[in-house]
Each structure stands twice: as structure tokens, then as C-alpha cells.
Structure 1
Amino acid sequence: MTQDTLSEAEYDAITDAAAHWCMRLHAADCTDEERDAFEQWHAAHPLHAFEYEAMLEVWEVAEHLPRPTPALTAAPRQPSRTWRQYVAVAAACALALPLAAYAGWNLGWLPNSHEHFSATDEVRRVTLSDGSELELNLNTDLTFSNYKDERRVTLKKGEAFFTVSHDLAHPFVVRAGEGKVRVTGTRFNVWMYEDQVRVNLVEGSVLVSSDRALPGDGLRLGPMMQARYKHGDYIPQISQTYPDDAALAWRSGKLVLDNLALNDALPLINRYLAHPLMLADSRTGSLRVGGIYNIKELNNLANSLPKVLPVYLTRNKEGNPVINSMPQQPPKS
């Protein structure tokens, strides 16, 4: 099988495999061995990555469809379908796609447009189909879907600055982690690392919720305010910011650490690193660090830390660098 010439059977096999891996990687019982096998398959051919990304787009849209109400009496269990049968069903459904898409749009179930944007080693500026403008920080991945009753961004990882086009009847919602940010037209920044999310409002007004499953639209932020939340937070933590706040320095290619404890600094640093820095213990985490860094050169930060802090580096069994504080000198007698 070569990249230039693929038979129909080879192409169908790639589509089947992409569907298989999309289902397995979203399954609760997916094993580490399966994930390793997926990585090998994904890297084996350029079309593998292309087909898998296309399958993910379908999966994400399908997640927004309403779930059917279970019947009171369970029907006899049917034999599970093979992957080829799933592909056949998908092909049959495609014949009715225009009518289904029109009905889904009118009911607010399906978007009439779905876009995917990412930035890797450069800050990227994009314009959404609704006219909203976004700046994407390094290592950022998000999607935009335009529904009848709302415009929806899903921030998968990273950070983005939003300048949202005003549309009072068509709210703009950013989903990040387990929470959401709801606006009609404004300028704000959303940062996410693992399960931590931070929202900084520059202009306008937003509603921030730390759990989309809870009723209501959350707490209201005004200009120069910040909301933080993480997994399990019932409500976001709200604080005041200032015109010279360092949270938006990334738009100029900088990371500003203003005398932060390493506990607070590492989430800001690690999102730029291929191998995140780890802390040996809480005492190390209490050490403070400051400075202004180029976001493209943060991979060099780990080696420079022992020059500015009383620390040394080791590596854990996963190969990640670990910061250790120097042993305290016993008091002289």
C-alpha cells in the first residue's frame, strides 16, 4: 500500500479502522495496549491520521444529538454489529442527510457549519464563520459549531483570546473542561491546562459556570475580572485583575511569572512543554520563581532553574524532569 495509489478496498479498510479506533478510544474499557496499537496505526500512513480526524469530527457532532428515551420494557438484546455493518449503516444514512440536516438544524440539534482550528508552534489568528475573531496560543485545539440557537466553541486544550461578534439572539458559548462561558458580544481570554480553566474578561460581560450540568448560566463577570475553576468546583472563584495583568502576555509571545510559587507556575509553564515538569514535594512547590520568558523557548527553562533557585533536577520513571529542592543546611552549633 503506497500513499500515491490506493485501491477502493484499501481505502475502505482505512475507513473501517478509523471507525474502530474512534469507538475504542472513547470506550471506558480501552486498554493501554490498545492505545499503543492505535498510535502505531495512526503513524503508519498519512491517510490514517486524515481519516481518524474526519471520524472525530463526526463523533463530536453526534455527541450533541439528543439521546432517545429508553423504553419501559427492555427489548431483546441484538447481536452487536461489525465495523463494516456500521459503515454500511452510515452510508445508508447519508442518502437522507440533506433532509435530516435541515430538520436537525431547525430543532437545534445539528449545526449548519462545523470548523476545526489548531495552533502548534505559532500563535494563530482565525476568523469564524459568524465573524468572530480568535487568537490561538501555541498548542491550542478547538472547534466551532453554529447552531440555530447558539454559537458553540469547544476548547479541547490550550488558550484563545476571543473577540465575539455581537448577536443578542444567538449567544456565543465556550465549553472548556467541565464548565462554560456564555456571551453575546465581548472580548475575553480562556486558558485551559488539564482540568484547570481560567477566564479573563477584557470588555463586555460574560457568564461563567464551572459545571455545565448545573442549572443556570453561572456567575457574571465584568471587565477586569477573572474566573477560575477546576474539576469538582461547584462555583468558579472570582477575582479582580488589573490593566497590566500578565495573563495576556502570550499574545506578544511572552510568559510572565510574577514571583509565583512553583505550584502555581508549573501549570502555566507545562502547557508549552512536551515533557511536563514535576515537583518532588510540597516544599519544592512553595519555592517562588519570576521572570519574563519567550513562549517558544520554554523547553530551555528546566535546565536554567537550578541557576536561579536552590533546586536540582532528576527524572521519574516516565522520563519527566522532576524539580527537587536542595536539602536544608543544619544550623551551626
Structure 2
Amino acid sequence: MSAAVSASVLRQAAEWLVRLDNQTDAATRQAYHVWLAADPQHGAAIARLQGHLSPLAELPRQPARAALRRAHQGRPRGQAIKALALAGLLVGSGLLGYQHWQRGYLLADLSTARGTWTEQRLTDGSEISLNGDSAVDWHFDAQERRVHLLRGELRVQVAKDAQRPFYVDTPQGSIRALGTRFIVERRDDATRVTMLESSTRIESPVGTLVLNAGEQVRVDANGIGAVQRVDVAAQEGAWNHHQLLVTDQPLSDVLERLARHRPGLLSFDREALAGMRVTVMLPTDDSDRALRLLERTLPLQVTHFTPWLTQVTPLDEEERK
């Protein structure tokens, strides 16, 4: 069996394939080879994607050609073919389904697809709410209650139980509820905790912190970051109305979160977007509108190759004029 390839690496590989079709200069090729050599997963991801793309290269059937023309009129043929092929990979060949099977998300106790939200009351009376593309498992016994956040973001309202502490676990640490309500977001390399009511104790391999109501913190391999103040009412309102509320966060992080609320692939280059930070509220139930709002307020171009492949790129100086 081939080694598992993470979703973030597959996304990066797809972005490189699109860039290489449209940008063949020496600097781009050199950057690609540096990326390829940085991690064995990178080569595996390219091989996996190219294995799916090669049978589509000729696009022999008339419906496929028509879709290609609609998807990318006026674009270079190679880039348009690759865009349609990537969309076919994501939707037709079930890459997203593969990713869920690979990590066991389809067997999770509770999960959501992209763009969907759900709520459930647990056996102890606690309530869990998941936003798009999220998954959790839980294990309750006589000694403790544990929820494992496998992917995405949850809000939990913890029922009181003097005998059994309540934990939310991620790869970066364990969050023990000392109060009632908080939000936990898991990414590939970090966990973000937002305290809405009372407090939690965050325990990581490199430190411990008590987080109080109206506070937010990021935990990663380097430890527990600086505590930031948040508007609890605004956070609650954003969650209840399916909105993405961010304050002075990197644009790439915002796009990563927005990607959980739309089908297919939202492609962007973190390095190219480095330095862009945003404070914004975006509608997750209408991710196309959210992208238009970002495009109107930032020096960005949003290109829809197909309904399942969208690319966000920064404008250069000439394009900004």
C-alpha cells in the first residue's frame, strides 16, 4: 500500500500542476524542484495526481470538450485541460472520498460534508455543533468524557458532570473544559481555541494554559501562542449565522477555512499571499460571494476554472493600476 498523502500536500501538488501549465519560466521550475525535493510526500502527491490526469489528457468525448470550453474560454489550452482534469479528479474519481476513507472520516461518530453544518446532543447532555468538512469521535466511560476532533471545527456546550471531566483532543494537545462553551478548530499543523463562556485548561507537550471567556489562542508544535481578546457576542453570532469572522489573520488561513465550505479545490499559494492580513466577516453559506468580497477589497484575482476548481492569485503592480 502506498504511503498516505495529506490533504494539504495534495492541494499544493494540484496548485503546482496548474502553475507549471501557465508559467514555464526558469524561476518557477526551480521553485517547483525545490518544493519537490523538500518532502517525499510531494513527489508522491504529484504522481498520484498525474496518474489520474493522464487518461484525461486527450478529452476525447464531446461533452468533455464542451465543458472545457465553458470552463475556461480564452485560456491556454494546456492550462484549461489541466483545470478540467483536476476537477474531474476531485469530483469524478472521488479524491475527496478517498481522503475521507484514508483518515477514517466516513467512520467518524459525527461528520459533515463541505458546506454543511450539523448539531447533536451527546448521551451526557452535552451539545456538539460542527461546521463544514469536520469530523469527531467520542469515548465516554465512568472516568472521563473525550471528544477527538479529527478534522475541521466544533463548538461544544458541556453538560455538568462532577465525576467525569470533559476533554477535546487534537494532535497539538488536550482541552479540558472547566466551564461550558468553547470553539476548537483543527488544522494540519495547529489548533485554535476560542473561549465563549467560563474557562478551559489547555495542555500541550510544551506547556499548559487556562483560557478564560473572551480569549482565543493558537497551539502548534512551538507551543501555546499569545492570548488574544475576542468579542464573544460576535463570535457566537457568526457561528449561529454560518459566518466566518476573522480579525487580523493571514489571508491564507482565511482561504483555508473558507475552503471547508465549498466543493472541489480552492487553490492558492501561501508564499505569494504572505503579508496579506484581513479583518472580515464572510458568509460561508455562499462561498462564491465571500470570494467576491475578498476580491473587491484586496489586490486579488479569483479565477473559476470549473465549478470544482477555483484559484486565488495576487495581482501584480500593473494589474492593480
TM-score (norm 2): 0.59
Whose RCO is larger (CA < 8 A, sep 6+)?
Answer: 2
Confirm or deny that 1:119 pairs with 2:108.
no
Q: Secondary structure at the match of 2:162?
A: coil
CA shift digits 1:285-305 (9 cap, x unpaired):
334545433212114444554
Confirm or deny that 1:270 pairs with 2:259.
yes
In the TM superposition, 1:141-156 aligns within 5 A as 141-156=135-150
In the TM superposition, 1:223-302 aligns within 5 A as 223-230=213-220, 232-246=221-235, 249-258=238-247, 261-273=250-262, 274-279=264-269, 281=271, 284-302=273-291
- Aligned partner of 1:130 among 113, 124, 129: 124
* Aligned sequence identity (%): 23
Q: Secondary structure at the match of 2:224?
A: coil
**Residues 160 and 302 of structure 1: is their aligned pair in 2 closer, same or farther, counting only changes over 3 Å?**
same
Q: Secondary structure at the match of 1:296?
A: coil
Match of 2:195 in 1: 201
Q: Secondary structure at the match of 1:197?
A: strand
Match of 2:209 in 1: 219
Runs of 4+ in 1 over 6 A off after TM superposition: 33-37
CA distance in 1, matches of 2:225, 2:141: 26
> Radius of gyration: which is bigger?
1
CA distance in 1, matches of 2:125, 2:135: 19
Q: CA deviation at 1:326?
A: 2.6
Contact 1:128 1:144 in 2 (8 A): no
Contact 1:135 1:162 in 2 (8 A): yes
Letter in 2 for 1:151: R
CA distance in 1, matches of 2:177, 2:270: 41
Q: CA deviation at 1:147?
A: 3.1
- Aligned partner of 1:307 among 289, 293, 296: 296
Q: Secondary structure at the match of 1:170?
A: coil
Query: In angstroms, what is the RMSD of aligned CA positions?
Result: 4.1
CA shift digits 1:218-257 (9 cap, x unpaired):
2111221212112x12234322223344476122111234
Letter in 2 for 1:119: T
* Unmatched 5+ stretches in structure 1: 1-20, 61-114
Contact 1:164 1:184 in 2 (8 A): no
Contact 2:283 2:290 in 1 (8 A): no
CA distance in 1, matches of 2:116, 2:149: 17
Match of 1:323 in 2: 313
Match of 2:167 in 1: 173
Q: Secondary structure at the match of 2:193?
A: strand
**Residues 191 and 322 of structure 1: is their aligned pair in 2 closer, same or farther, counting only changes over 3 Å?**
same
Match of 2:151 in 1: 157
CA distance in 2, matches of 1:166, 1:142: 20
Letter in 2 for 1:116: D
Q: CA deviation at 1:315?
A: 9.2
Letter in 2 for 1:202: L
Match of 1:210 in 2: 204
Query: Which of the pair is proportionally richer in helix?
Result: 2
Q: Secondary structure at the match of 2:120?
A: strand
CA shift digits 1:185-215 (9 cap, x unpaired):
411111223222211112222111233xx5x
